[in-house]
Structure 1
Amino acid sequence: MKTLVIGASKGLGKALIEGLGEAGDTLLGVSRSRPENLMARPGVDLRWIEANLGEPAMAAQIIEQAVIEDGLDTLVYNLGIWEAQAFDPAYDFRGDHDDQLQAIVNCNITSTILLIKRLLPVLLKSANPRIILTGSTSGLPQSGRPEVAFGASKFALRGIADALREGYREQRLGVTLLNLGYLNTEDALSTPRALAEQRGEGQLIPVHDVVQVVRMALSLSSASFVKELTLPAIGDERF
């Protein structure tokens, strides 16, 4: 299996690179620069593509050219930026700068659409093409969050996923949307999960759990797919 992970240099993306794949698989990570000290699972061929998704058209072209020859089975789009004061009690939409709002839309929506458009011809050649979009509980109705641009961009992922499923159902394209709650990205995948799950006292999700969910989704046959999955922290009172 050949899997492309967008936003793979740190946090959840780094955990996905370190936790996905089996011996003989190929993982391609994408970020502005290749991070140091990144280890894939034994037998997994790890490659890197340097591209800045803040420049959607150029990044999409670079990534397309990097995968077009060897093919691609799965795209994991794990990228999202948010407002400077997001998830802070001091957040006020009226204080958001216009250029920051444009950057959020550019990175979280425009880049997603342009890249998928570029990669679809490659993906659809796979016997089991899959797209996994890492969304947020902020993109759910009545999420309880006030961040306008970030929330709107995560709502947009549902529309992207729904349209792709309808447009390419006959080509058996499986599109999964993961609505993730607050993550513990301080503890890497190398940290024992029993220790990582203690951080946040029930308010944070270890990256280990997200990796496990993605591995499950990618392990399914071509006859089924995970449409949408919401993964909140156990202590999140919104859920």
Structure 2
Amino acid sequence: MTEPLQKTALITGAGSGIGRALALEAARRGYALILTGRRRAPLAETAELTSNGARCILGDVATAEGRAAICTAVGGRLDVLINNAGTLSVGHLGAQEDAAISAMLETNLLAPILLTRDLLPALRAAGGRVVNLGSVFGDIAYPFFTAYSATKFGLRGFSDALRRELSGSGVGVTYVAPRATRTAAESAFGPLVEPLDMHLDSAEKVARQAWDAIEAGKRDSYPRSRERLFVLIQRLFPSLIDKSVGAQARDAKTLEALETVSAR
């Protein structure tokens, strides 16, 4: 009897945080891995931790050269594409510089769209799945995360549109929306955690829930927490979220914490 082919997963931004946790969970589940990232040392460390001979592709997914290198490494078949790479900048929109906003748009939204486009032939050949790492902020738009929220709203819209476009093709789409997560990126918004009443999950928990959703072929995955209720309220009664989150944004403790974030 012929042994089934080992499935391959490509994970962008795999050098740290959720990307690393996704890679470790994928290795535990038996996937062959292609890991991408902009920094050689963290990427190599992730590969070593997986202990499964993961291939590392050094490059920026937001550039044409980086995407070309990834496509060359993938070849003709790909079972799972996980668009995880992302960047975050926090603060009053009026204080955000062009470069920071452009980086979020290019990395968080444009890069996943273009990389998915380029890898569609390989995904079709394998009957694979596109997985987009969004955020609860892609449903509940938060003050001081304005451009970041916009990119995650866009990624959610892209996921829904792509799922419908690929209907019947054999390629599935899963949108994963974790809440705030304990990673190095937390340093960008740490002082806001308490005044904005954020609850953080570990990257490992996010990765387990994401892979559960991927392997079950789910259309989306949200945290099993109060945020799921808030998302429902946002969709049905958005004015209630306006009042609640607006009050948090005006609170003196929030504004004081924001000063600390902006000073970094």
2:224 and 2:147 mapped to 1: Cα distance? 21
Equivalent in 25, 43, 55 of residue 47 of structure 1: 55
Three-state SS of the structure 1 residue aligned to 2:20 is helix
Partner of 1:66: 73
Tell me the amino acid that sits aligned with residue 35 of structure 2: G
User: Structure 1 residues 117 and 206, CA, compared in 2 at 3 Å: closer, same or farther?
Assistant: same
Partner of 2:113: 113
Partner of 2:201: 205
Report deviation, 1:232: 6.7
1:14 and 1:210 mapped to 2: Cα distance? 11
Kindly provide the CA deviation profile for residues 91-116 of structure 1, in whole angstroms up to 9, marking residues without a partner as x: 21101111221221111121111111
Report deviation, 1:206: 1.2
Q: Percent identity of the aligned residues?
A: 26
The answer (yes or no) to whether the contact 1:203–1:235 under 8 Å persists in 2 is no
Partner of 2:215: 219
Partner of 1:166: 164
User: Structure 1 residues 27 and 40, CA, compared in 2 at 3 Å: closer, same or farther?
Assistant: farther
Q: What is the count of residue pairs matched by the alignment? A: 211
Partner of 1:131: 130
Partner of 1:33: 39
Tell me the amino acid that sits aligned with residue 117 of structure 2: K
The answer (yes or no) to whether the contact 1:143–1:238 under 8 Å persists in 2 is no
1:235 and 1:158 mapped to 2: Cα distance? 16
**Taking structure 1 as the reference length, what is the TM-score of the superposition?**
0.79
Supply the RMSD in Å over aligned alpha carbons. Answer: 2.5
The answer (yes or no) to whether the contact 2:138–2:149 under 8 Å persists in 1 is yes
The answer (yes or no) to whether the contact 2:37–2:57 under 8 Å persists in 1 is yes
Kindly provide the CA deviation profile for residues 118-139 of structure 1, in whole angstroms up to 9, marking residues without a partner as x: 0001111013x11111101111
Tell me the amino acid that sits aligned with residue 138 of structure 1: F
Unpaired runs of 5+ in structure 2? 1-6, 185-193, 232-264
> Does residue 18 of structure 1 match 2:16?
no
User: Structure 1 residues 13 and 209, CA, compared in 2 at 3 Å: closer, same or farther?
Assistant: same
Report deviation, 1:146: 3.5
1:23 and 1:229 mapped to 2: Cα distance? 19
User: Structure 1 residues 73 and 235, CA, compared in 2 at 3 Å: closer, same or farther?
Assistant: closer
The answer (yes or no) to whether the contact 2:179–2:227 under 8 Å persists in 1 is no
Give the number of the structure whose alpha-carbon radius of gyration is greater: 2
1:93 and 1:147 mapped to 2: Cα distance? 8
Unpaired runs of 5+ in structure 1? 187-199
Kindly provide the CA deviation profile for residues 184-223 of structure 1, in whole angstroms up to 9, marking residues without a partner as x: 126xxxxxxxxxxxxx998210112112112212333xxx
Partner of 1:189: none
Q: Which has the higher helix share?
A: 2
The answer (yes or no) to whether the contact 1:19–1:40 under 8 Å persists in 2 is no
Q: Which has the higher strand share?
A: 1
